[in-house]
Amino acid sequence: MSLKLTRTPRTAVLGLCLALLAGLLSGCTGDSGKETIRFTFSKREAIGFMTKLVADYNASQDSTEVILDTSGVDVVSASFVRGNPPDIALANYNMETARFVQRGALSDLSGTQAATRVRKDLQPLMDQYGSYPDRTSALPYSVMASSVIYNKEIFAAHGIEVPETWSELLAACDALKAAGVTPFYATWKDDWTVAQGWFDYSVGGQLDTLDFFDKLAEAGTDVGPDSPASFQKDFEQPVEKMLKLAGTYVNKDAASRGYGDGNLAFSQGKAAMYLQGPWAFSEIAKTAPDLQLGTFPLPMTENPEDLRVRVNVDLAAWIPEESKHKEAARAFLEYLYQPEIIEAYNKSQLGFTPTTDADAAPDPRIEGMVEYYDKGSVYQGPSVLVPRTIPIMNYTQALVLGADPAATFRTLDADWARLAFRQ
Amino acid sequence: MSTTTATRRGQGRPESRSRRRVEPIFYFFLLPSLVLFTLAITVPGLVGIFFSFTDSIGIGDWEFAGLTNYIAIFSDPAILQSYLFTFGFSIVTVLVVNVIAFLLAVGLTSQIRMKTALRTIFVIPMVVSGIIIAYVFNFLFSNSLPSAGAAAGISWLETSLLANPDLAWIAIVVVTAWQAVPGALLIYIAGLVSIPGDVYEAAEIDGASKFQQLLKITAPLVAGYVVINIILGFKGFLNAYDIIVGLTNGGPGTSTRSIAMTVIAGFNGGDYAYQMANATIFFVVAVLISLLQLSLTRGRNTL
Q: Once rounded to an integer, what is the mean pLDDT over residues A220-240?
A: 91
Mean pLDDT of chain A: 87
Average pLDDT over residues A143-159: 94
Distance from CA of A43 to the nearest CA of B (A): 18
Please give the angle made by the CA atoms of A199, B269 and A92, to the nearest 5 degrees: 65
pLDDT number for residue B75? 87
Q: How far is the C-alpha of A353 from the C-alpha of A119, rounded, in Å?
A: 9
Instruction: Give the distance from residue A93's alpha carbon to the nearest chain B alpha carbon, in angstroms.
Output: 14
pLDDT, tens only, B95-123:
999 999 999 999 998 888 888 899 899 99
- d(C-alpha B190, C-alpha B119), whole Å: 12
Mind listing the pLDDT tens digit for each residue in A10-29?
555 555 544 554 444 444 44
| Amino acid A27: pLDDT | 44
Positions of chain B with pLDDT under 50: 1-12, 14-15, 302-303
| Cα dist from B28 to A11, B24, B42, B242, whole Å | 11, 6, 20, 36
Task: Please name the member of A9, A402, A421 whose beta carbon is closest to the beta carbon of B31.
Answer: A9
First to last CA, chain B: 22
By Cβ distance, the residue of A13, A103, A255 closest to B60 is: A103
Nearest Cβ partner for A256 among B27, B160, B271: B160
Cβ of residue A130 closer than 8 Å to a chain B Cβ: no
Which of residues 49 through 78 in chain A touch B, CB cutoff 8 A?
73-74, 77-78
Using CB atoms within 10 Å of the CB of residue A313, give its burial: 0 to 12 exposed, 13 to 18 middle, 19+ buried: buried
Domain-by-domain residue ranges, chain A? Answer: 32-144+313-363, 145-312+366-422
Q: What percent of chain A has pLDDT over 90?
A: 59
What does the pLDDT read at residue A263?
96
- A16 vs A10: CA distance, rounded Å: 10
**How many whole angstroms separate alpha carbon B259 and alpha carbon B240?**
8
Q: How far is CA B269 from CA A99, A369, A418, in A?
A: 9, 32, 15
Residues A252 and A182: their CA atoms lie apart, in Å, by: 9
Which pLDDT score, from 0 to 100, does residue B10 have?
43
> Are residues A209 and A385 in contact, defined by beta-carbon separation less than 8 angstroms?
yes
Q: Is A232 a residue whose pLDDT tops 80?
A: yes
- The reported pLDDT for the residue numbered A26 is 46
User: Which H/E stretch holds residue B21?
Assistant: none
**DSSP notation for B65-119:** -TTHHHHHHHT-HHHHHHHHHHHHHHHHHHHHHHHHHHHHHHHHHSS-TTHHHHH
Q: Residue A255 gets which letter from DSSP?
A: G
Pick from A74-83, A243-252, B65-74: least confident: A74-83
What pLDDT is recorded for position B11?
47
Give the pLDDT confidence of A97-133 residue by residue, as tens digits: 888 888 888 999 999 999 999 988 778 788 888 888 8
CA proximity to A204, closest of A45, A3, A379, A389: A379
What pLDDT is attached to residue B18?
A: 52
ipTM: 0.76
Please write the tens of the pLDDT for every residue from B212-251.
Answer: 888 888 888 888 889 889 888 998 999 999 999 999 888 8
* Segment A301-326, tens digit of pLDDT: 999 999 999 998 989 999 999 999 99
A256: nearest CB among B24, B159, B255: B159
**CA distance linking residue A188 with residue A402, whole number of Å:** 12
The neighbouring-strand residues paired with A151 are A293
Q: Among A371, A315, A372, A73, which Cα is nearest to A201's?
A: A372
Please give the domain boundaries of chain B with CATH numbers for all domains.
78-297 (1.10.3720.10)
CB contact residues (below 8 A), chain B span 240-269, against chain A:
249-255, 257, 265-269
At A148, give phi and psi (nearest 5°).
-70, 130
Could you tell me the CATH superfamily of domain A32-144+313-363? Periplasmic binding protein-like II (3.40.190.10)
The answer to whether A401 touches B163, Cβ cutoff 8 Å, is: yes
The pLDDT value recorded for residue A5 is 41
Flag if A258 and B142 touch (Cβ within 8 Å).
yes
Which pLDDT does position B300 carry in this prediction?
A: 55
- What per-residue confidence (pLDDT) applies to A24? 47
CATH 3.40.190.10 applies to domain A145-312+366-422: yes
- The predicted-structure confidence for A167-178, as pLDDT tens digits, reads as follows 999 999 999 999
Task: Find the angle CA(B253)-CA(B257)-CA(B263) to the nearest 5 degrees.
Answer: 130
| CA-closest candidate to residue A39, choices A322, A333, A327, A321 | A333
